[in-house]
Each structure stands twice: as structure tokens, then as C-alpha cells.
Homo-oligomer: A and B are copies of this chain.
Amino acid sequence: MVSERGLEVLRVIVQDYVESREPVGSKSIVDRYGFGVSPATIRNDMAALEEDGLIAAPHTSSGRIPTDKGYRMFVDHLAEIRPMTPAQRHAIQTFLGEGADLDDVLGRTVRMLSQLTNQVALVQVPVLPRSRVRHVEMVRLSPTRLLVVLITDNGHVDQRTVEVPHESAPLDDESLADLRARLNTLLVGRLLAETPPLLAELGDTVPPGSRAVLQRVTDVIGAQVDDRRQDRLVMAGAANLARTEKDFPGSILPVLEAIEEQVVLLRLFSEMELDSRGVSVSIGRENGSLGLGEASILAGGYRSPAGALGHIGVLGPTRMDYSGNIAAVRAVARYLSKLLGDD
């Protein structure tokens, strides 16, 4: 049974270990934090903590370090979120200030977050199904190639070139304009998810010459709806991983691999439930993947009035500054929501 003071001891062990990367011993605890008891007493508490699997000793005779379970306890019950300093708030605001296109904003956000936390920062590019069509544009690049641009109301622009089948008559400007007008009339304001059936209907009403083209456009939009392209991650701060190399016993290789893989991280993001503070934490082995057993992931959600849009988070060694990083993720997520939401 872990006592009240036992939890305090756990807290200082986590804090100390995060700060120094040294296993922390009973004597150094009383030296630095003066609990008003002797080292021997602390040792008893530590024995209880170890019994509960909250801390462990790397080898028989050395201080203790937190286990994944210990970090979990710390994060859930012991950590106080350290609010951002005014300077940091200001930095976020000015750095993210100027609105530009979506990719730009996400890129700057993720760089900001990685600097703030000294970790790898990740942001998920918004999922699209909930967004609405603003405009469909088609530009002929050559007699057989067409650039289809789909603009949605969350500021996303998707572009693809499509090949127009040779067997169909080359498309003239007029019928292209006609098709563009029909498409826009039909689709603008609709949810992306609603479009496929509408497009199918439209198929019967257009002149035969345009059918093939319409088919391609339909494909593009359909691809948008369920394509995994929407599940993309933007990343920054990989160099920070090398900086915390010491915290990954084997090597940072599997971590870098997991990051490039993306799939693993996207799954983790999607599985994480945001807690009351709006930031969720997955610690060490909790995140399943073999390569990430020594890493923790913090995830926050950002949203616009249109609904939840995506996750933003940081990845670092389990031995990280949870208090500060949770605050940073939360703050950046909020600013990002504000930035995207004020339209």
C-alpha cells in the first residue's frame, strides 16, 4: 500500500529523474526536498512503490527510476500543468499570427510546437469528410490532360491531374465551361460525403462527349472522400530526437522508423481519447508498437466550428517534461483552433 507521502516521493522521483537522467536515491531525495524524515523512511516508501510497480531499480544497488506505470500515475494524479509563460504565449501568437494557406499554417504550428517542447512535433492534416465543397475547377493542361482542383470550405485545396481517354473527343473550351458550371451548381455547399451519389445522377444528363471527363472528376472527388491521403502527418523537430538519444537505450532508429511509417502514429492518434484537460498521453509500452516502447506521445485535438478536425501532439522519450509539454500542446492546439476557426 502506497502512503500519501509515498506518492509525493514518486512525484519527486519523476521530477528528479526527468531533470537529471540519473536514478534517484533515498539520500538525495531528503537532501534536495527535505521531507522531514530520514533516508531510511524514504527507502520504506520506495519499497512500497516498487512493490506496486511504480518504480524500478536498474540494478540491485542504485537509485530508482519511474516505470511506465509510474509515469502514468504521475501524469494522471500528480503533475500540475505548468501554464505557459507570457513570453511563450506571445511567441506562439506572433509566430502563428499571419494566416496563410493551410499547409503553411500547419507547418509553422508544428515547428513552433517542436521548439517549445524540444521534442518531435506532429500534426495531423485535417480529415475531410465533414467539409463542404466550395468550388470545383478544371484546367486543361494539354489535349489529353486535365487538372482538377477541388476547393473545400476549410481552406483545403486538392489538385490532381487526370488523363482524358483518347477515344473520347478532345474537349473543347465550351463544353468544359458547361461542365464546370453544372458541377459547381450541383456540388457547391454540399458535404464531400454527399457528392458521389449526386455525381452519379449527373452522369445521365451531360452530353455524351463529356461523360468520360465527368467520370474522371468523379473519381477524383471519390478518392478525396475515402482516400488515406487525408491521413497525413506533418512533422518537425526530428533533430530533437538525436538530442535525447541517451534516453533510447537501443537506438533512435526504431523511433525514426515509426515516425516515417506514420501509420502507427495515426492509429495511436485515433485511439487516444482526449481527457478533461484536452490532452491525452500514451506512455512507453502503452502505445503498443515495438519501436515506441521507450517513447511517450502527447496528443491534443484542434477543431473548428465545423467539428473535430485533427490531432496535434509531440513525441519524445518517456523521460520527458510532461507538465511543460502538456501545457505546450494544449496552448498550441488552442491557438490553432482559433486560427482555423475564425472564418
Contacts and interface: CB of A to CB of B under 8 A. Distances in A.
A99 to B, nearest CB: 6
A169 interface: no
A252 B242 contact: yes
Given A253-B243, A256-B239, A257-B239, A134 B139 contact: yes
Contact of A101 (B102, B161, B239): B161
A161 B238 contact: no
Interface residues of A, number: 40
A102 B102 CA distance: 17
Contacts of A243: 253
Interface of A is mostly: mixed
Copies in the complex: 2
B239 A161 contact: no
A134 B160 contact: no
A238 B251 contact: no
B134 A153 contact: no
B155 A101 contact: no
Contacts of A157: 147, 149, 157, 159
Nearest to A242: B253
Interface in A136-189: 137, 139, 141-142, 145, 147, 149, 151, 153, 155, 157-161, 163
A4 interface: no
A237 B238 CA distance: 12
B134 A141 contact: yes
Interface in A197-249: 229, 236-239, 241-243, 245
A100 interface: yes
A151 B134 contact: no
B237 A260 contact: yes
Contact of A256 (B104, B242, B253): B242
